[in-house]
Amino acid sequence: MFVSTMPGLREAALVLVFLAICCKAVNSRPFWCPTDTANSSGYCLSWRLAVEANNIRAWRTVPTQCSRHIEAYMIAGQYQRDLNLIVGSICSYVDTITLSDDGFDAWILDVDDTCISNLFYYRGKRYGCEPFDPLGFRAWALQGECAAIPDVLRLFNKLVETGFKVFLVTGRDEETLGQATIQNLENQGFLGYQRLILRSGAYKGVSAITYKSEIRKQLVEEGYRIWGNVGDQWSDVQGDYAGNRTFKLPNPMYFIP
Ligand SMILES: *[C@@H]1O[C@H](CO)[C@@H](O)[C@H](O)[C@H]1NC(C)=O
Ligand SMILES: *[C@@H]1O[C@H](CO)[C@@H](O)[C@H](O)[C@H]1NC(C)=O
């Protein structure tokens, strides 16, 4: 047995040494040399991290090779775990705030993929591999069937019960989607918010950052103190009067400038 094993071990060691040498010589790497860059799941993980950290911006579509990765992320549990952890962190922050009794302690929540989910719609768009389709999205939103995101609904209820004035601020067009959005929020249990603010004609064509900054400025001028601001887009939480604390929820399916 000893005799027959030794040569096997020596051969294995030689192969390992050979592999190590060949893998260092990057330019001459043979096709069979193990390489991490060939792992598309690893690439997609890097892509998603870069997107969430705002290191990749103004991207139009999810890389085609990542549609399965994004699907798995969104529906197999990790997205929900991420939301659960973030909302836990937001609730801890909420618990540190002492509200005044003047009724001007405010909180801002985005609507799409913050309060209510478009996951069902994006499933039909290969989780963002297909470019944004304004007409398709409008038709979907008009149905008023976006499901509540449970952890955010829990946060919403906590904020309302604690006494915050909750403002829902969305880039959805007021004229065409106002009614459907009001009904959708109601049928998903978002009751007791202070105001739902949709994009009026005055803000048509204005970037989300500018529009949302302007809305927050008006609230601050009305006397509100914005303690927190939560959205799935960087454009929700950047710009002026962003709030004392901002929280970015994950969304690897689309980017709104
Ligand atoms: C590909 O990368 C993912 C994420 O880093 C990892 O979990 C998986 O094991 C890798 N697969 C292979 C075949 O290396
Ligand atoms: C909240 O932000 C406002 C405006 O930036 C600032 O004046 C205030 O001190 C902040 N409050 C706390 C508790 O950080």
User: Is the domain of 3 the same as that of 112?
Assistant: no
The atom number, within ligand 1, closest to the CA of 39 reads 1
User: Is the domain of 4 the same as that of 87?
Assistant: no
User: Is the domain of 49 the same as that of 104?
Assistant: yes
Judged by its nearest atom, the ligand closest to the C-alpha of residue 47 is: 1
What are 111-142's pLDDT values in tens digits? 999 999 999 999 999 999 999 999 999 999 99
State the average pLDDT over residues 38-45.
84
Give the residue whose CA is nearest to atom 4 of ligand 1: 42
Number of domains in the chain: 2
How large is the angle between the packed helices 150-162 and 78-96, nearest 10 degrees?
10
User: Is the domain of 124 the same as that of 226?
Assistant: yes
- Centre of ligand 2 to C-alpha 92, Å, is 18
> Tell me, what CATH number does 192's domain have?
3.40.50.1000
Q: Which residue has the higher pLDDT, 85 or 1?
A: 85
Residue 241 falls inside a structural domain: yes
Q: Which residue has the higher pLDDT, 154 or 2?
A: 154
Which sign does the torsion angle of CA 53, 58, 64, 65 carry?
negative
What are 192-241's pLDDT values in tens digits? 999 999 999 999 999 999 999 999 999 999 999 999 999 999 999 999 99
Q: Which domain holds residue 11?
A: 1-35
* 40, 41, 49: residue to mutate for ligand 1 pocket, most atoms within 8 A of CB: 41
Residue 244 falls inside a structural domain: yes
User: Is the domain of 12 the same as that of 100?
Assistant: no
Taking a C-beta distance cutoff of 8 angstroms, is the pair 209, 257 a contact?
A: yes
User: Is the domain of 31 the same as that of 48?
Assistant: no
Residue 253 falls inside a structural domain: no
Taking a C-beta distance cutoff of 8 angstroms, is the pair 203, 181 a contact?
A: no
In this prediction, residue 173 carries a pLDDT of: 98
User: Is the domain of 97 the same as that of 27?
Assistant: no
- Centre of ligand 1 to C-alpha 18, Å, is 23
pTM strictly above 0.75: yes
* 33, 35, 36, 39: residue to mutate for ligand 1 pocket, most atoms within 8 A of CB: 39
- Centre of ligand 2 to C-alpha 173, Å, is 31
CB of residue 35 inside a 6 A radius of ligand 1 = no
64-46-59 Cα angle (round to 5): 50
d(CA 2, CA 216): 77
In this prediction, residue 40 carries a pLDDT of: 80
The atom number, within ligand 1, closest to the CA of 36 reads 14
Rounded to 10 degrees, the C-alpha dihedral 72/77/79/82 comes to: -140
User: Is the domain of 47 the same as that of 31?
Assistant: no
State the average pLDDT over residues 20-26.
46
User: Is the domain of 108 the same as that of 182?
Assistant: yes
User: Is the domain of 148 the same as that of 216?
Assistant: yes
CA 16 to chain centre: 42
Residue 197 falls inside a structural domain: yes
Give the residue whose CA is nearest to atom 3 of ligand 1: 42
